[in-house]
Structure 1
Amino acid sequence: MKKIRNYKTLAFGLAVLLFMLQITSSAAIWQTEKAKAATGPQDTSTIVVSGAAVTVDPNIVMSAVTAVEITKYSIAYQWSAVPNATSYYVYKYDTVQEKYDFYTVTTGTSIQVAGLAAGEEYYFAFYAVNDQTACRSDFVVSSQVFTKPEKVENFTISDNTTTSVVLRWTDIPSATGYIIYRAGTGGNFKKIGVASTGEYKDTTLSAGKTYQYKIVAYAGTEANVGEESPAVFTCSLPAAPTVTIKGGNQRVRLTWPAVTGANGYHVYINQNDQYVLLTTLEGKSNKKFIHTNLENNQIYKYYVTAYRNNVYNGMVYESKASIEKTGIPMEVSATSTQPKLYKSKSLFKKSAACKKNKDFSKKLDYAKSFAIPGMLNTNVAEFGCGTMVPQGITLAKSYFFVTAYDGRGEENSVVYVLTKDDKELVTTIILPNKSHAGGIAFDGKNLWITQAKTLRSIPFKTIKKALDEEAPYLELSSYGVEITLPQQAATVTYYKKLLWVASYDELKPGYLVSYKISKKGSKPELTPLKTISMPTRVQGIAFSSNGRLIVSRSCQTDPKKRGYMHQLDVYKPNLKKASKVLSLLERFAAPLLFRP
């Protein structure tokens, strides 16, 4: 019976022991789980210490650990040597499991942690050990470190407009974000923005310019970047041209201002309710197209685009279409020769000029007068113009030459050529531009026309060819020479084998400068000789055979406006005293006033 009782006692003891172990085990498990729930990179309390050094010695102090080199797949750490320390233990933090695992032990003061993932966050914990005393320091946790992210791949640019483009690339899951850099063709890249995904829209562009972009991913902070993407070139679109259309005889003309950044233009025509490319014009300044051989009184529709070539990627960037323009070719009459305002002598004598200005009426020689051509209509290379404004007049050989410009600015300026004897229009010279053509003179071989600060020549032999061929008009593609002057050229005359060029100013006195002409028969050259001061508001000049200088002066058409004047002044200039030093004119006669 005693033996049985002993067995019962033993069994009871074992049961109590197992129960206590179960309680202890459960408590340990609960404590571990509780510790794991509270753990983070800075919490080292749950680290299971490796090796024999378990006791923390307050005299063993390990300083901060620094990441000295970071690559895409590795981190190099370094720290100061700890006195009496013989080794250093390293633990790597598992961000998924939220716990530290033993990584390595080293006797040096640096380690290279390799085999890491690109663009990921890492923490490491360190402590120093004195193997002789089996004691260690407290844990030191490294600062947050991200490895370098991957390189941006599949970078493209699309959706180009005049002010924006859209950049797209393959998103990198581990990247925190992306830094966008932009440069012009010179390559001076500057940061323009950041993105959190694989797309970025740049809305700060100027129309018609070439740009290049680079993108770099970063992880953690913008200081921790990966390898830059290759540069990708693109262009913002040129602006759509602003087109003006005009119908002429069996033709239509489209014109537009030059578009910034354009390398040329495409002209499209509507055929059977569908637009097709009609022609391509190369060059930014090639901003006019005349469609010929059309049928009069029929409707034609067009639009124009500007394009820009990108020499860096071989692409062509085309603007949006201009507003659709409709043109109707129509017959254009010949240049008119009839008067515009006063159809007869009797009507002209009833004009305000004759009635109110007795000097003008007294000196008027109507028999020698003639109507300036083109005032009702000028045929400018088969385009009609009823807004020509007469400017200068000169006599060359047996012809009168009268300049005029289009007051609306649509057509090029012209020179009407009339015979000296019967004042009949024989041809019209169409100038290469829309010059104001304020003055004209003839030196025996060349016509000279003023424009701004230039004198431009037309060889008379060029005009003679058109006269011999009896062409209704001569369209010049260029001038003979274009000479820039030091002063404004408002008007010009030819006297004593010199060209005399006068300037215009509403408020300040101007100048009359004489020029010697050389190489008249080829490419003329001008040399300034003499300078004479002139009054304000000079419009035209002429020397009489006895050396008197007749100066027409005018400004404004409304007497209430500042500077209003309409008069002729007659002077006797002292040309002997004139030199490169300004000399004054000597008044010869009172002005002949014209106040209509």
Structure 2
Amino acid sequence: MKKKILTLLVILIAATSLSGLLDKTNVKAEDSPVLVYAEITQYPNKTTYMAGESLDFSDMIWMGYFADGTTENITDYKIEGFDTNKIGLQTVFIKYQDYMIGLNVTVLPGKIKNIHMKGNSISHLTLSWDEMDGIQQYEIYRWDETSGDFILDGSSYTNQYTSYAPAGTILKYQIRAVGEIYGSEYKGVFSDTFTGAIKPLPVTGLEVTDTTSTSISLTWDKSTDASGYLIYRSQDASDSYEKIGTTQDISYIDKTALSGTGFRYKVSAYSFDPLFAGDYSTPVEITTNPAKMKLKVKVGEQKVRLSWPRVTGATSYDIYWKDSNSEFSLYTTTKEDINSIIIEGLILGEAYSFYGIVHRDYNGIVYDSPVSDIVQAEIVEVEATSSAAALFSDVTEFENSSAYKDIEFFRNNAIFNESIIIPGLITTNVGGFSSTSMCPQGMTFTEDYLLISAYDLADEEYSVVYVLNKATKELLATIVLPVMAHVGGITYDGNHVWIAVGTSVSPVPIADIHNAVKEEKAYSRIDLNTMIDLGITASYMTFYNEMLWVGSYNELKSTRMYSYVITEDEDLLTLTKVNTVTMPTRVQGLAFTENGYLILSRSCQLYKGLRGYMRQLDLYQPDFADQTEGIISLGDIVHTVEMPSMNEEIAIEDSYLYVNFESAAFDNASYQVDRVIAFDLTSILPAEQEFEDNESIDD
């Protein structure tokens, strides 16, 4: 860069002769002694500026000599003629009173900003930066390893520059702007160093070296001059990739892969920074192995049930078995949609062992899971469905229960001798397997039987119906249903037993119940050949006035109950909706009396303190005569009585109201009851006097 020589112009001109040089709007100095003479005794050190930089004469000493004989360094002068954005030599004027001095300063181009890489390939990269006004060209310097310095790589008349180098080369640059005024060049300072890179060549040789249920191992060929590698993954052969990792090695283990899931991988190399990455490798497609089988075994009557949660991505399952005298061998292979098998014909007293392996067929290659843990089972006799009381063996124990002692209405009105032990609470034989977690739900009477429905809280066994002799209260049969539903509603219309299954109801001919009793087996199975979908959850139901009444349970809001006329045509049963009744929350069961009263069994939760806890019977007297378009008003509560916790469906037989309870199936329920409790119906119905409305009972 040429060294600029400071040129001093000292001009002493009378005020009257300055009118052509100075703007008449200049402000005069403050009132002060008249300046007679002025001279610069110390010139400014800084005479070269970068474009955009402010003028700085703070170290200049301009000594003034005044008419009153005083001298002073003049600092409150005015500056004119400086343009910080004008490249080249400028004359700057400073003025005080009628004196003016001109100083020469040089303005050089400013520092290049915002250098970035506009694009790159395997042979070159293109730099770009913020354009500067008044600049004729830019000089681009590139670091030279041999000389250990930046050397001129080229120049550009625009704010872009393309530089060439081998693939993967890391390059450093400094750029400065050059302005030209009247044949003289003015060069700015160098920019900050910018580092970029030529794209590395695409990665080759990508392959999978290992798979497990939770990981996939990759390797590839080393790329020349690559600083590292970026690993990308898509799931289930999708084209939507995400970056999952960065490594400096030529291998990578993806430990975040889901089991039994297909993936695609691709890798790119980068130089210096992941921003400077090369093109992707050819993708590879692979799957993780399926997860290990979680095998469970349950012993039945000379059989076992093996079950397992479905494994993601499985296409088949192998089950291996052995007895105490043999080695493991393949018992069966099941399809992907089967996750339970029963092995029958086993020997009482013999011990058996089982394990499983999951297979996944992916693109014609079979991937195996780890071997499951071995489960063992010894074949023992399965007990018959229990008919003994689960909690209170006699009246003394019953009267010592918290329900009896703490609930006055229950204590005064429960009729122990008419009450019925709920069977199956201790154990229920469900198709040759024992369930110790059956939960009682619905109940109804036929001419000969009391029927109680129940479902398995463990969600292992099918739902059942216990058949009891209505007169002797003896358990006659355990009927296994082909569903694992709550079966919360059950009723009898004189010809069919109706069972609630989700949003449907299923009619079972009473002859099927008779046949099950006649079999005198540990259990009997019946089919639900007809399912009539109602479009609502069938939580409870009863038969009254030649119609089926079905409603839904809801803890938080009211629901609707509907009545249906039953039509039978050549063994085809259909239901036609007739009436609608808006029901309160938490209804578990209902029963109509002969004189038109409606008793609702309402309960919720196991004990006080849980949301919505309730345990009561409510008495209503709907006005069946006053209905509009089939809508019947429930009316106001006539009477409310307190019950133990978890009262379920109810039924009227002769002069008794029978209330079923599910509390004995829950260890932590309050006021547990293990019987269908009988109450004299008159204790529920109103006496001659009026009853006041009652609040919900939640103590």
Equivalent residue, structure 1, for 2:332: 279
Equivalent residue, structure 1, for 2:465: 415
Equivalent residue, structure 2, for 1:103: none
Shift of 1:585: 3.1
Q: Which structure shows the bigger proportion of residues in strand conformation?
A: 2
State how 1:226-265 maps to structure 2 within 5 Å: 226-265=278-317
Residue type at the aligned position of 1:153 = T
Q: Is the 8 A contact 1:533 1:585 kept in 2?
A: no
State how 1:30-429 maps to structure 2 within 5 Å: 72=122, 119=168, 148-185=199-236, 186-219=238-271, 222=274, 225-270=277-322, 275-283=328-336, 286-310=338-362, 313-337=363-387, 347-348=394-395, 351-352=398-399, 357-361=411-415, 366=418, 371-395=421-445, 399-418=449-468, 425-429=475-479
Shift of 1:120: 5.3
Where 1:357 maps in the other structure, the secondary structure is helix
| Count of matched residue positions in the alignment of Structure 1 and Structure 2 | 510
Equivalent residue, structure 1, for 2:620: 571
Q: Is the 8 A contact 1:122 1:145 kept in 2?
A: yes
Where 1:361 maps in the other structure, the secondary structure is strand
Equivalent residue, structure 2, for 1:491: 540
Where 1:330 maps in the other structure, the secondary structure is coil
Q: Is the 8 A contact 1:448 1:455 kept in 2?
A: no
After superposing the two structures, state which structure 1 stretch, 328-337 or 255-264, moved more.
255-264
Distance (whole Å) between structure 2 residues aligned to residue 113 and residue 390 of structure 1:
83
Match of 1:542 among 561, 570, 591: 591
Q: Is the 8 A contact 2:264 2:286 kept in 1?
A: yes
Shift of 1:155: 2.0
Shift of 1:491: 1.2
Q: Normalization by structure 1: what TM-score?
A: 0.66
Deviations 1:62-95 (A, max 9, x none): xx9x999966578999xxxxxxxxxxxxxx9998
Q: Is the 8 A contact 1:574 1:586 kept in 2?
A: no
Distance (whole Å) between structure 2 residues aligned to residue 593 and residue 113 of structure 1:
90
Q: Normalization by structure 2: what TM-score?
A: 0.57
Where 2:465 maps in the other structure, the secondary structure is strand
Shift of 1:392: 1.4
Shift of 1:249: 1.4
Distance (whole Å) between structure 2 residues aligned to residue 466 and residue 195 of structure 1:
73
Cα 1:585–1:144 shift into 2, 3 Å: closer
Q: Is the 8 A contact 2:506 2:528 kept in 1?
A: no
Shift of 1:183: 1.4
Residue type at the aligned position of 1:283 = E
Q: Once the two structures are aligned, what percentage of the paired residues are identical?
A: 34
Equivalent residue, structure 1, for 2:485: 435
Distance (whole Å) between structure 2 residues aligned to residue 421 and residue 303 of structure 1:
50
After superposing the two structures, state which structure 1 stretch, 245-254 or 427-436, moved more.
427-436
Q: Is the 8 A contact 2:624 2:632 kept in 1?
A: no
Q: Which structure shows the bigger proportion of residues in helix conformation?
A: 1
Cα 1:148–1:338 shift into 2, 3 Å: closer
Cα 1:212–1:449 shift into 2, 3 Å: farther
Q: Is the 8 A contact 2:622 2:633 kept in 1?
A: no
Deviations 1:240-260 (A, max 9, x none): 344432211111222334445
Distance (whole Å) between structure 1 residues aligned to residue 144 and residue 210 of structure 2:
43
Q: Is the 8 A contact 2:453 2:490 kept in 1?
A: yes
Q: Is the 8 A contact 1:256 1:287 kept in 2?
A: yes
Distance (whole Å) between structure 1 residues aligned to residue 118 and residue 414 of structure 2:
98
Distance (whole Å) between structure 2 residues aligned to residue 466 and residue 484 of structure 1:
29
Residue type at the aligned position of 1:357 = R
Match of 1:502 among 551, 555, 559: 551
Where 2:414 maps in the other structure, the secondary structure is helix
Cα 1:156–1:523 shift into 2, 3 Å: farther
Shift of 1:211: 2.1
Distance (whole Å) between structure 1 residues aligned to residue 117 and residue 569 of structure 2:
83
